[in-house]
A and B are shown apart, each in its own frame.
Chain A
């Protein structure tokens, strides 16, 4: 029997940025129910059409550490929109290697099959950090998502992300992150094209002012033939014993979030987003109820688009099986979607 892998390897579909991060230029997600919580890529934008927040085929520009962590915490509280039937089978082949098969029978679009392979190296810095890490995900149409994370030096980390849509490259992204004692600096190159003279450059810096307060800024610069521009965003995060509050303010709008851990069973997340370019604002309230005694986790969502939804996850011991049931209703657009998933392993 192989020793278990890291307890929180990246799940197959988590190749996009965590919840709440929108890809540059995208508005918040518009799921089938009009819910804004499934944005692909940068939590930004719970995305359009039938894409879920963690759609592996969505474009990806990930944000540096602190914002990603804050968004990841909220991402765990809010439910993922579910539709159709999904079967996920995970097999750990060794202490370093894991494969996952995902079959999705969709009611809104074409069904799909995903094969995911994850390799984790020997250098482990924490319970969820090990280097190098290689993740690959391919679907039945030949579209590929690949990530490589490597620790170049003690304080320098690099990451490369590639996404293809069948035979065409959609995203190629390179990150370099420096972690100081009380600061983090990250530089991201998105889709650099020397011949086409286009690039997306993201520079991010966070400084710990006190043990609880982190302030920083982010600059996004994009260039294409005949066009270039930059957006500056200021970010702040305050961490208390039981809650975390973040605020990002920039030219394109503002984003505020509040995460509260009431106790071991109840977690609540509140989010507000205002986009001045799209002249749109959204609010979302989500909560997570965790009952380990009942092997159950429930996540609920309510947002300003008149959408309500919930996902119930129930483990079925002694089998290594988890059953997830989800339903989302958009009162304004009069749309309802439900689905269930079976996760084995």
Chain B
């Protein structure tokens, strides 16, 4: 069984939740499952974004950076460097 399944249905510790202002213990399939799923998704997304050994991840990230770089080049670089500064 994938590890995220057991994680999703694991009740959250009361101490941790109380520190966040939540006093109820999460139950399997209850409202607490959504934060668990969201936390798991965020954790997987963070691992994906920072795993430099994953070629697919590197390709997707650099492809996104390339697209962002092209957008910046086309839209944000028409600057007159010798223009006088605006007077307030």
Contact = CB atoms under 8 A, between A and B. Distances in A.
A258 B62 contact: no
A260 B73 contact: yes
Contacts of A271: 66
B13 to A, nearest CB: 35
B1 interface: no
B34 interface: no
Interface stretch (B3-11, B22-30, B39-47, B74-82): B74-82
B37 to A, nearest CB: 30
Interface string B66-88: 10011011100111111000000
A14 interface: no
Which 6 A-B pairs give the minimum distances between C-beta atoms? A270-B69, A268-B73, A262-B77, A272-B66, A283-B62, A260-B73
A29 B55 CA distance: 18
B55 A262 contact: no
Given A266-B77, A287-B77, A281 B58 contact: yes
A287 B63 CA distance: 19
B55 A280 contact: yes
B interface, how many residues as a size bin? 10 to 19
Contacts of B20: none
Nearest to B55: A279
Contact of A265 (B59, B74, B79): B79
A260 B58 CA distance: 25
Interface string A179-214: 000000000000000000000000000000000000
Contacts of A287: 77
B65 interface: yes
Contacts of B73: 243, 258, 260, 262, 268-270
Contacts, number: 67
A270 B70 contact: yes
Interface of B: 55, 58-59, 61-63, 65-66, 69-70, 72-74, 77-82
8 contacts: A262-B73, A265-B79, A265-B80, A270-B66, A270-B70, A281-B58, A285-B65, A285-B69
Contact of B65 (A262, A283, A291): A283
Interface in A205-253: 243
- Interface centre among B69, B70, B72, B77, by most chain A C-beta atoms within 10 angstroms, is B69
A276 B69 CA distance: 23
B66 A280 contact: no
A272 B78 contact: no
Given A268-B72, A270-B73, A262 B79 contact: yes
A334 interface: no
A263 B76 CA distance: 12
B65 A304 contact: yes
A282 B66 CA distance: 10
Nearest to B64: A283
A281 B82 contact: no
Interface string A47-77: 0000000000000000000000000000000
Contacts of A325: none
A289 interface: yes
Given A262-B73, A272-B62, A279-B55, 20 more contacts: A243-B73, A258-B69, A258-B73, A260-B73, A266-B78, A266-B79, A266-B81, A269-B73, A270-B73, A272-B63, A272-B66, A274-B59, A274-B62, A276-B55, A280-B55, A281-B62, A282-B62, A283-B65, A283-B66, A304-B65
